[in-house]
């Protein structure tokens, strides 16, 4: 679904977090809320071709394009041969390079507001902190794969590891990453925490232990502030 909206270039909003944090659900809720929020203000009905933001789109990593879907299958399927840590890292980088060049950059150039399920911070947290791979190497690969594209906003849905893994297990079969031990996921959470502390203006923490509606409301409050900073959003139209 793409909708007319406003600013000089698209924006990239990323949803991050550990297993079972609910980011995929919250991304879907956020897209629905954005459509309604903008419509309530008469924004969509009054959009003009000259408005700087033209659409809303959602995507994910890995798997944001047809080619990337195949990479995702390899990365997350648990019954293949044991995957080496550097192989995993390079596959994520390959997925990201294709996604950025073939999907994200073209849409941003067309003034699209993009909601993305995972991006570079996941690689730092999972392959850097979780797997223990060299952080400098990861940053170099991320820079190459993204061509320097940094999110405008990252929403980190933070959740206790045991609770998140229990939620993931309740969904049914677990993918290869979800099957890693608790210590791995604890290191991943620590990675997200340190990223948040290093980039507090870009990475905002959302308490994902709250009920779904409360998490959605926290995200909406953040986005209302950001949207009014980025765009000249009209007030709600009176009947």
- How confident is residue 53, by pLDDT bands cut at 50, 70 and 90? low
Strand-by-strand arrangement of the 112-117 sheet: 55-60, 112-117, 11-17, 153-158, 203-207
Residue 236 included in any domain: no
Residue 22 included in any domain: yes
Residue 59 included in any domain: yes
| Average pLDDT of the segment spanning 46-61 | 71
What is the CATH classification number for the domain harbouring 117? 3.40.50.300
Residue 99 included in any domain: yes
Residue 154 included in any domain: yes
- How confident is residue 237, by pLDDT bands cut at 50, 70 and 90? low
User: In terms of pLDDT, which residue wins out, 44 or 5?
Assistant: 44
User: In terms of pLDDT, which residue wins out, 7 or 104?
Assistant: 104
pLDDT digits (tens, 9 = 90+) for 125-163: 999 999 999 999 999 999 999 999 999 999 999 999 999
Residue 127 CA to residue 194 CA, distance in Å, equals 14
Domain of residue 71, residue span: 11-230
Residue 185 included in any domain: yes
DSSP class of residue 131? T
Q: Which helix (H) or strand (E) holds 15?
A: strand 11-17
Least-confidence region, from 106-110, 127-131, 199-203? 106-110
Q: CA 90, 93, 94, 95 torsion: positive or negative?
A: positive
pTM of the model: 0.90
User: 221 CB contacts (<8 Å, ≥6 apart)?
Assistant: none
Residue 2 included in any domain: no
Residue 42: the pLDDT is 63
Q: How many structural domains does the chain have?
A: 1
pLDDT digits (tens, 9 = 90+) for 76-91: 988 778 899 999 999 9
The C-alpha angle with vertex 216 and arms to 107 and 27, in degrees rounded to 5, equals: 30
| Mean pLDDT rounded to a whole number for the chain | 89
Residue 150 included in any domain: yes
């Amino acid at each position: 679904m793409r909708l007319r909206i406003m600013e000089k270039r698209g924006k990239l909003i990323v949803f991050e977090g550990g297993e079972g944090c609910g980011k995929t659900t919250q991304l879907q809720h956020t897209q629905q809320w954005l459509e309604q929020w903008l419509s309530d203000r008469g924004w969509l009905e009054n959009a003009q071709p000259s408005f700087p933001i033209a659409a809303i789109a959602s995507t994910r990593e890995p798997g944001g394009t047809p080619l990337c879907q195949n990479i995702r299958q390899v990365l997350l399927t648990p019954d293949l041969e044991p995957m080496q840590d550097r192989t995993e890292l390079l596959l994520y980088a390959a997925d990201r390079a294709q996604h950025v060049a073939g999907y994200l950059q073209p849409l941003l150039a067309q003034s699209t507001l993009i909601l993305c399920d995972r991006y570079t911070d996941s690689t730092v947290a999972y392959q850097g902190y979780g797997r223990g791979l060299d952080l400098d190497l990861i940053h170099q690969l991320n820079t190459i794969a993204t061509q320097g594209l940094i999110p405008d906003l990252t929403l980190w849905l933070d959740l206790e590891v045991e609770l998140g893994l229990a939620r993931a297990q309740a969904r049914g079969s677990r993918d290869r990453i979800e099957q890693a031990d608790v210590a791995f996921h604890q290191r991943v959470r620590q990675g997200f925490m340190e990223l948040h502390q290093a980039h507090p203006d870009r990475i905002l923490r959302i308490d994902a232990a709250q009920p779904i509606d409360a998490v959605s409301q926290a995200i909406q409050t953040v986005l209302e502030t950001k949207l009014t900073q980025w765009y000249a959003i009209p007030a709600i139209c009176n009947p």
